[in-house]
Chains A and B, each alone.
Chain A
Amino acid sequence: MDPNVLSNLSVELKRGTQVLAVLSQLKTNQYGYSLLQALEEKGVFIEPGTLYPLMRRLEAQGMLKSEWDTSESRPRKYYCLSDEGVKIYEMLIEEWQRIVSDMDRLIKEENHGKND
């Protein structure tokens, strides 16, 4: 089998979870690189070239709010969940749990059938 097929499918599968992963870490203020590290510490790797634009996009959609911190030598843009973002995040979690349990059921049925 072409190894690319598996890696492509895996990338696609993960892509949909990226928003949820990002939102989950933004209850507190984070700037781009600190969010990247926070995710990495928990074993979730999102390419920086994907993550930084994604944060901007979520801000444009009103789920994140941001502020520039200019107190240090280099200005940094900090992001965190907006009120709207909190609501959407909670709904997305519900959606996610439904997906997980649906998929679990499908996969377990499949395995069960095999073992018989």
Chain B
Amino acid sequence: MKILVPVKRVCDPDNANKVKVSADGATVTSDGLEWKPNPFDEYAVEAALRLNENAPKNEKLGETLVCSLGPAEVAQTLRQALAMGADRGILIDATDGQLDTTVVARALKALVDKEKPDLVLMGKQTVDGDSNAVGQTLAEMLGWPMATFAMTVSTNDGGKTLTVGREVDTGVLTLKVTLPAVVTVDLRIVAPAGIKNGATPADHKYNEGARYASLKGIMQAKKKAIDQLKLSELGIDTATSSAYPKFELPPARTGNCVFVETVDDLLGKLRTQAKAI
């Protein structure tokens, strides 16, 4: 099956405390921060590769496309996915200021119209903005079925439908979606038995987590194509529908620790001192 996986680079979440706000509060500055693929997107790449392979035979069964919106450096993020085994990359040149949920979803829709994948598989959210909205918006724009927070995906009916186990607050909700569809993945999709595609034997145990790129994969990735597109060339409305008027860091923690004897004491202090309730 042909799978499109959108991938976003994010500031290394381990260094989130180094994020700074510009003096006028207009932007968040990312100077000096390391970039990493959004972890949920990396899981989506892994899930796509598992869906598209016979693992023990090391055989490819379909095409995995990865795409990203951002400046030219985003190519490195795409190369990482190509090194893991994705087949082709698409880079849509854009600046952070040009993008929001709606614009990204419109751009992805334009790509879907062009590439006609059977499945758009993506992270449930990015760990920078945490909006958790692009997948849902895209499905709506496409008029495709959607399953979010997937923890298991298996293919049925000769690859015409998917059974998706969704992680919800009350347990696991199982959905059957007809392709083409949009599926967003959660952390557990990369558990050893998260994906069943009918080709890799059901008892095959994958390693937990996204695969490491092999040395050969890394060297081959530089030869794989990354198509370059411009946001303005996609023929979409590029007006953003959201704006950030101002950023400010949360107040520094005082570090004061108050011990209380009873629950009533606690509630009282929360009311009168902290004014939190």
Real complex partners, A and B? Answer: no
| A residues in contact (CB < 8 Å) with B | none
